[in-house]
Structure 1
Amino acid sequence: MERIAKEYCYKDPPWRILDRTEEKTMSVTVEDRVGGLTEGSTGRLARFVLETDWGMIPETVRHTGVRCLVNIVGNALGGVQDLAIQRLISTLRPVSGPPQVAIIGRREFFDPPSAAFINAASSNVLDFDDTHFPSVIHPSAPVYAPLFALLQHDAVSGQKFLTSFILGMEIACRLGCAVSPQHYHRGAHITATCGVVGAAIACGKMRELNMERLVWAMGISATCAGGLVENLGSTAKSVGVGGAARDGLMAALFAEAGIDSSPIAIEGPRGFLAVGADKPDPAMLTRDLGEDWEIERNALKAYPSGVVLGPVIDAALELAGKVDLAQVAKIVVTGNPLLLERADRAQVETGREAKLSIQHSVASALLGRAIGIGDYTDEAVARLDVRRLRSKVSARPSADFALDAARLDVEMLDGTTVSATVDHARGSLTRPISDDELSEKFLSLARWGSSQVKNDRLLHTLWSVDKLADMRAITRLCTAA
């Protein structure tokens, strides 16, 4: 039985084009079409998402989901006034559809895909979001933003929202693990490429798609996957994250409307895994599914910079105030090879580049004895004292250091050396920031970019999101007065 499209009317959101009652009359199932699909990775993931409800999610995983939501909304509030986001908003405004969805921290409303794009990009632009350490994905931004775009017209409970949010991040992280580390080394920005699939799954769950359409949503989103590591340190990086949120939303809506895809778009011989890595690990997609949760390996950053810089900043802060900076001859940073691959940038000209600079982060931490958003602005990069000190910083790789570890050796003009070693950075899995620290981070971000939002009330509501009957209470609070 084919679905019949109804005439689109601006008073209705785009996902109401089709009559939901027709969905219930569909008799074709995935098994009918492709036989044993449910034994494949794509089908098993879709069935897991379809069958998992709030009561099946462990309490620790639920709390992790709430923490991730508090963190990412705070990032959106902090990033929305960034010049890059303002330029994106100005560009999208004249080409967007009817305004329906709020932009977090602002007064404007945009069409759902554009709002998903902007909210995801603003959540990522400060590099203060979250990191799934095994895959180095920042999963929250591309997954929560399209879910917010679906909240404006229908009452969705906090538990339903969190279930969709958690499952979307879980699938994105598992997909990232299945193609790591080759995917990233090839130059694919894994947050965008895997995040789009997580976004589609999350939206499909919230839209209550059946298994067939969840499979289609995954296939459609996988064909939209894109993003380049080469663009890290530029605004294009956040454009990729915004695109993942927008395309994930549209993939779910397309699938709901009956747009199909290959049933094995993820694990097929020319599917996402094969294209994304030389030696992918398909078993990682479904190993201990529902028992071992990858989302619990997602950590919240303590500093607004690339995650590889966390231990470097910790080491510099440990030595700040203990050495006479006027007597420093040279500073040597030793860390994980990925630290140098991503962040060995001695010559930086902008604050955005500096977020991925060992040299700038060390100099700023030593001089300021603290690190915040203001240390990664164009003005901070241009400071003469910062430029002089970062010229003395060099770095060397060592496979003996984990991603969250580093050592800082400061050699003085008199030949003595002062050192600091960090085994696990603040904001890592071993040293996570506490709920209280997360609340302070949220309020600090909100003060930076969205002072007109009722931030204290919003924070309180976010911490109790699982008690909400209607998530629109949060989206209203996110809008500037």
Structure 2
Amino acid sequence: MRGRSGCFGNPKPTNPKLVNRRKKGDVMAISATTSLAEFISNVRELPAVVCERAKLHIADTLACIYAGSASRAAALAKQISAREDECARIIVPGLGRWNDPALAALLTGVCAHADDFDDTSEHSMNGHPSAPIVSALIPTACMLGASGTDVVRAYAVGVEVACKLGVAVGPAHTSRGWHTMSTLGTLGAAAAAANLRGLDAVQTQHAVGIACSFAGGLLGNTGTMTKALHCGRAAHGGYLAAALAEQGFTAGADILEAEAGFIDALTDRSVDRIDLPGLGGDWELLRPGLAVKLYPCCSCTHLAIDGAIEIKGRHTFDPSSIERITCSVREECTHYLRFPNPRNGIEAKFSMTYTVAVALTRGKVTLEDFETTALDREDVAVLVPKVRMVACFDENEVGSIEVVLKDGQRFATRRAAPHGSPDDPPEWDDIIGKLRQSVARGTSCVPQQLEEFFVAIRGMDKLSKFVDLLETYL
């Protein structure tokens, strides 16, 4: 591993060992795979504003991991990863120490997405970038003794790669049924791990190629534990891709644009031209940015939840007096919100009817609302069939919610963007609140220790060893 202390400025000259060049007329053009590998290996330092945003999203993802460590999915995954060892150096937050870093990445990834509480890239990746990336970085950092600065930088690189590739593959990738967290997330995790390991451009090119063959995961498994496993497999694949490439393992040098390569196999895009505009210049963490989830359920429900909570706070009425509730959503959201009558906590996360009923009844939506026993609450259950979801093609109507009472009173509101999104960005207080809820669920809290943990999280880039942050709560 080589040290990294400079700044990301002018890129290095193209490495002559990078084998793929494509002729365009008289000009020899660098392939997209080569260009991506050079970017990943060249980044040394982040702009300060990118660093601050990266720290917030890493902290948010840690909250998701701690919360998910108490999930049924994590408990089952732990059984087949039974290598826990109190003397080992690989930490899975909330679940202790493990001997095998690759399995630790898988287990961490399952925890990170078990509650569907992790951030999203709505405009570029159309999925969840941070969970697989952070889950691959934690065991890598434990193995290397990497600094907080190095982890923050590698994380930003991973997000940049996953999201820029999201633009390149286009919406047809998702419409074909691919889950971007387990396809693009695998490549983002590999990019982050390669950067943290200090791989050169040639090694990184192979890491990208290996990761492309690990990519997979079907949206048909939405509403099941396997959706969380997509995150675990992406982290596992990303970790292994970088580790294997460091040892000299090889892969296709132009795998992104090759015939039967990533773009050709998984999208409807032409491989003649693959654009990665603004790579490392217009950082995805800033523009368009990622959305932090303040509710542990599908992001398609969040506008309606915000609106329901607003209506409940502004008006005095008994939820039992409600006649009907109508929520307007983007048409594509109807494909995710497929459980009008959820049978368990996982399905409830993808249920507009249930989440809105909870918001109108309780004035909040928290982790405990998705415990299976919570679905039996009578006051919520009676509202569920009264919620109607309407697919809307007019962007000016998306996010509206109307509550009609039995006496004819009507209360309505519309939210253009959910709190936590780039248009209504979260503050550190939001993240600390989420961490407080999540750590309490996944560990035994000591209040003073918890406050010290929050201070350390905000200063993670100052840590000589990132793993010191995780030592507080195993």
Both structures adopt the same fold (TM-score exceeding 0.5): yes
Structure 1 residues 89 and 412 mapped into 2: Cα distance closer, same or farther (>3 Å)?
same
* CA apart distance, 1:162: 1.1
How far apart in 2 are the matches of 1:115 and 1:397? 40
Are residue 464 (structure 1) and residue 459 (structure 2) matched? yes
Q: Structure 1, residues 108-144: CA drift from partner, whole Å, max 9, x if none? A: 4241011111111111111111011113221111111
Where 1:423 maps in the other structure, the secondary structure is coil
* CA apart distance, 1:344: 4.1
| 8 Å CA contact 1:42, 1:266 repeated in 2 | yes
Structure 1 residues 76 and 38 mapped into 2: Cα distance closer, same or farther (>3 Å)?
farther
* CA apart distance, 1:285: 4.8
Q: Which residue of 2 aligns with 1:162?
A: 152
| 8 Å CA contact 1:117, 1:246 repeated in 2 | yes
Q: Which residue of 2 aligns with 1:196?
A: 186
How far apart in 2 are the matches of 1:253 and 1:310? 38
Q: Which residue of 1 aligns with 2:142?
A: 152
How far apart in 1 are the matches of 2:111 and 2:104? 10
| 8 Å CA contact 1:179, 1:280 repeated in 2 | no
| 8 Å CA contact 2:83, 2:99 repeated in 1 | no
* CA apart distance, 1:95: 11
How far apart in 1 are the matches of 2:323 and 2:187? 49
| 8 Å CA contact 1:46, 1:215 repeated in 2 | yes
How far apart in 1 are the matches of 2:433 and 2:269? 42
Q: Structure 1, residues 202-245: CA drift from partner, whole Å, max 9, x if none? A: 11111111111101100110111011111111110011110110
1:226-245 map, 5 Å? 226-245=216-235
How far apart in 2 are the matches of 1:253 and 1:38? 29
Q: Which residue of 1 aligns with 2:393?
A: 399
1:62-101 map, 5 Å? 62-93=51-82, 99-101=88-90
Q: Which residue of 2 aligns with 1:418?
A: 411
Structure 1 residues 433 and 249 mapped into 2: Cα distance closer, same or farther (>3 Å)?
same
Where 1:93 maps in the other structure, the secondary structure is coil
Residue correspondences, number: 449
Aligned counterpart in structure 1 of residue 369 of structure 2, from 352, 375, 384: 375
Q: Structure 1, residues 373-427: CA drift from partner, whole Å, max 9, x if none? A: 1111111112222221111111111122379x51112223334432121111111
Question: Structure 1-normalised TM-score?
Answer: 0.88
* CA apart distance, 1:44: 0.7
Question: Structure 2-normalised TM-score?
Answer: 0.89
Letter in 1 for 2:283: W
Are residue 123 (structure 1) and residue 123 (structure 2) matched? no
How far apart in 2 are the matches of 1:216 and 1:89? 30
Structure 1 residues 84 and 34 mapped into 2: Cα distance closer, same or farther (>3 Å)?
closer
Aligned counterpart in structure 2 of residue 252 of structure 1, from 222, 242, 249: 242
Q: Which residue of 2 aligns with 1:312?
A: 304
Structure 1 residues 44 and 444 mapped into 2: Cα distance closer, same or farther (>3 Å)?
same
Q: Which residue of 2 aligns with 1:446?
A: 439
Q: Which residue of 2 aligns with 1:104?
A: 93
Are residue 436 (structure 1) and residue 442 (structure 2) matched? no
Structure 1 residues 154 and 253 mapped into 2: Cα distance closer, same or farther (>3 Å)?
closer
How far apart in 1 are the matches of 2:429 and 2:385? 37
Which structure 2 segments of 5+ residues have no match? Answer: 2-13, 23-27
Q: Structure 1, residues 416-451: CA drift from partner, whole Å, max 9, x if none? A: 432121111111111112111211111121112222
How far apart in 2 are the matches of 1:361 and 1:427? 17
Q: Which residue of 1 aligns with 2:5?
A: none
| 8 Å CA contact 2:21, 2:31 repeated in 1 | no
Letter in 2 for 1:450: T
Structure 1 residues 402 and 425 mapped into 2: Cα distance closer, same or farther (>3 Å)?
farther
Which structure 1 segments of 5+ residues have no match? Answer: 1-14, 16-27
Where 1:233 maps in the other structure, the secondary structure is coil
Where 2:144 maps in the other structure, the secondary structure is coil
* Higher percent of residues as helix: 1
| 8 Å CA contact 2:349, 2:355 repeated in 1 | yes
How far apart in 2 are the matches of 1:235 and 1:280? 34
Where 2:402 maps in the other structure, the secondary structure is strand
Where 1:294 maps in the other structure, the secondary structure is coil
* CA apart distance, 1:196: 0.6
1:48-63 map, 5 Å? 48-54=39-45, 57-63=46-52
Are residue 384 (structure 1) and residue 373 (structure 2) matched? no
How far apart in 2 are the matches of 1:191 and 1:221? 13
Where 2:141 maps in the other structure, the secondary structure is coil
| 8 Å CA contact 2:264, 2:271 repeated in 1 | no
| 8 Å CA contact 1:197, 1:218 repeated in 2 | yes
Q: Which residue of 1 aligns with 2:266?
A: 276
| 8 Å CA contact 2:18, 2:34 repeated in 1 | no
| 8 Å CA contact 1:168, 1:201 repeated in 2 | yes
Query: Larger deviation: 360-369 or 420-429?
Result: 420-429
How far apart in 1 are the matches of 2:250 and 2:267? 25
* CA apart distance, 1:164: 0.9
Q: Which residue of 2 aligns with 1:33?
A: 19
Q: Structure 1, residues 66-117: CA drift from partner, whole Å, max 9, x if none? A: 0011111111111101122011101221699x95412211334241011111
Q: Which residue of 2 aligns with 1:455?
A: 450
Where 2:412 maps in the other structure, the secondary structure is strand
How far apart in 2 are the matches of 1:284 and 1:456? 47
How far apart in 2 are the matches of 1:29 and 1:288? 21
Percentage of matched positions with identical amino acids: 26
